[in-house]
């Protein structure tokens, strides 16, 4: 009985290995293969930053002006964001840029010799529609003071339809 189990296990392992073996594919065969292009990324952001401080490094003048700092404490970014990433050919990029309202892409991209462009696009419709980005700052303080000017919140930041293009030059 043990011999039968061993033989069966060996046969199953052989089938599994042969099923997953990689075989070369010729160019002619590869040209008939089709599939999805691009990559989609979705994230539920929960970012916390202890503080952001701006310091004026100017020397204090005779009137006591100059120097000082302001800090933004308890910074939080949360919400859902999704993006599609695609590679566009030169012609596809020029069409997309024109559709986005770019009147002369030649000011930043070479229209005759420019290469492929990475496009990052936030879709118009997302799975969790209505759950947009929120940014908040718990306290705004001057210098080393413990007193706060208050807080700031940017709620429901809707970035749908935003497109970013990245290319080499």
161's CB contacts (< 8 A; 6+ apart) are 122, 124
Burial per residue of 85-113, b for 16 or more beta-carbon CB atoms within 10 angstroms, e otherwise: eeebebeebbebbeeeebeebeeebeeee
Cα 146 versus chain centre, distance? 36
**Containing H/E element for 95?**
helix 90-99
User: What angle (nearest 5°) sits at the alpha carbon of residue 158, between those of residues 157 and 160?
Assistant: 150
Looking at residue 126, its pLDDT comes to 63
Instruction: With a cut of 70, list the residues of the chain below it in pLDDT.
Output: 1-23, 27, 30-37, 126-130
pLDDT given for residue 157 in this prediction: 86
Phi/psi for 129 (5° steps) reads: -55, 135
Please check whether residue 138 is in contact with residue 74, taking contact to mean a CB–CB distance below 8 angstroms. yes
Cα–Cα distance, 156 to 16 (Å, whole number):
51
Task: State the DSSP code for 105.
Answer: G
pLDDT of residue 162: 85
Condensed to tens digits (0 to 9), the pLDDT of residues 137-157 reads 999 999 888 999 899 998 888
Domain boundaries, the chain: 39-166
Nearest C-alpha neighbor of 165 from the set 126, 103, 108, 82: 108
The residue among 138, 160, 141 whose CA lies nearest residue 151 is 138
The residue count of the chain comes to 169
């Amino acid at each position: 009985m043990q011999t039968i189990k061993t033989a069966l296990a060996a046969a199953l392992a052989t089938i599994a290995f042969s099923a997953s073996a990689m075989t070369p594919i010729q160019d002619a065969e590869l040209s008939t293969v089709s599939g999805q292009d691009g990559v989609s990324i979705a994230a539920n952001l929960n970012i916390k930053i202890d503080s952001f401080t701006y310091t004026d490094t100017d020397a204090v003048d005779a009137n006591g002006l100059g120097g000082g700092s302001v800090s933004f404490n308890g910074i939080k970014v949360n919400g859902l964001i999704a993006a599609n990433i695609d590679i566009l050919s030169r012609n596809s990029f020029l069409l997309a840029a024109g559709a986005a309202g770019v009147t002369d892409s030649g000011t930043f991209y070479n229209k005759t010799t420019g290469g492929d462009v990475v496009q990052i696009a936030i879709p118009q419709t997302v799975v969790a529609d209505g759950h947009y980005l929120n940014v908040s700052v718990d306290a705004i303080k001057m210098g080393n003071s413990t007193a706060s000017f208050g807080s700031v919140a940017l709620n429901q930041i809707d970035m749908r339809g935003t497109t970013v293009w990245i290319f080499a030059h």
